[in-house]
Amino acid sequence: MQDPQPEPKIKVGISSCLLGMKVRFDGGHKHDRYLTETLGRYFEWVAVCPEVDIGMSTPRENIRLVGAAADPRLIAPKSGTDFTGRMKAYAVQRVAALAREELHGYILKKDSPSCGMERVRVYDHNNVPQRSGIGIYARKLLETYPLLPVEEEGRLNDHRLRENFIERVFAHYRIRQFMNGSPRPGTLVAFHTAHKLTLMSHSVKHYRELGRLVAESGKGAFADKLPGYFALFMEALKLKATTRKHTNVLHHIL
């Protein structure tokens, strides 16, 4: 009897420095061993470093976000070089190309002016930083793939955020596999039933709304209903599971 084939690893995007690649402005890295040694057993990393990819050297002059938080400039303060146009053009191209990678999650480098997901320093006209920005590349990624599970490596130190992110990555993989496998109303019922307790542990309200979508899936064009189910499914899992919600699920099982 042949040994069963191992499950394929799930593709997840990641900032290159977190894998130990020496791409930081100071010539160093930010290797995170939990990511490479633990999650790396299940995830296939797709590494991206926007700053190196737009032609910046390693090591290089430090860069920062300057101006309005909603649309800052990317400036090297020592030389005054403005990298905004180059980074925005790159972000459009690279983020679009990620569609071919079929990613199911993304881990970004916190505080980075290109990759930071939240609370990135933005310097005003008085050179005073405010923790109000999003990295230019990260902003385009989040705008283009709003349902993709995305986190920063720093936030993954919180076990609740870490568990939620990992769960969403695997769920995103499963629902994409389902949607790419010639789904029908009957198989949607089976998929929804298999995820009933998981959904309830995050949001009973979303579970019921998804149930209504499933009940109506046989009416009209079935393919038109799948994007709505997918969006609501991922939205539900983004809500944190709590002890109270788990207790409710256990009472439901009993």
Are 197 and 149 members of one domain? no
- How many structural domains are present in the chain? 2
Residue-number span of the structural domain to which 147 is assigned = 10-157
Residues 152 and 26 in one domain: yes
User: Does one domain contain both 228 and 152?
Assistant: no
Q: Is residue 19 part of a domain?
A: yes
For residue 239, pLDDT beyond 70: yes
Do residue 153 and residue 186 come from a single domain?
A: no
With beta carbons less than 8 A apart as the criterion, state whether 126 and 77 touch.
no
Q: CB under 8 Å, gap of 24 or more: what pairs does 53-59 form?
A: 53/90, 53/94, 54/83, 54/86, 54/87, 54/90, 55/86, 56/83, 58/22, 58/23, 58/24, 58/25, 58/27, 59/24, 59/25, 59/26, 59/27
Say whether pLDDT at 1 is over 60: no
Q: Per-residue pLDDT for 4 more than 70?
A: no
Indicate yes or no: pTM above 0.75. Answer: yes
In angstroms, how far is CA 130 from the centroid of its own chain?
24
* Contact partners, residue 242, CB within 8 Å, separation at least 6: none
Do 120 and 246 fall into the same domain? no
Q: What is the pLDDT of residues 193-207, one digit of tens each?
A: 999 999 999 999 999
For 18-32, the pLDDT digits (tens) are: 999 999 999 999 999
223 and 187 within one domain: yes
The pLDDT of residue 251 is above 90: no
Residues 222 and 145 in one domain: no
**Residue 119 covered by a domain:** yes
Mean pLDDT, the chain, whole residue set: 95
Residue 73 in tokens: 């400039």
Q: Quote the pLDDT of residue 252.
A: 82
- Strand pairing report for 150-152 and 106-108: parallel
Q: What is the CATH number of the domain that holds 107?
A: 3.40.50
Decide which of 92, 124, 157 is a domain's last residue. 157
Same domain for 109 and 73: yes
Q: Give 179-230 pLDDT, tens digit per residue.
A: 999 999 999 999 999 999 999 999 999 999 999 999 999 888 999 999 999 9
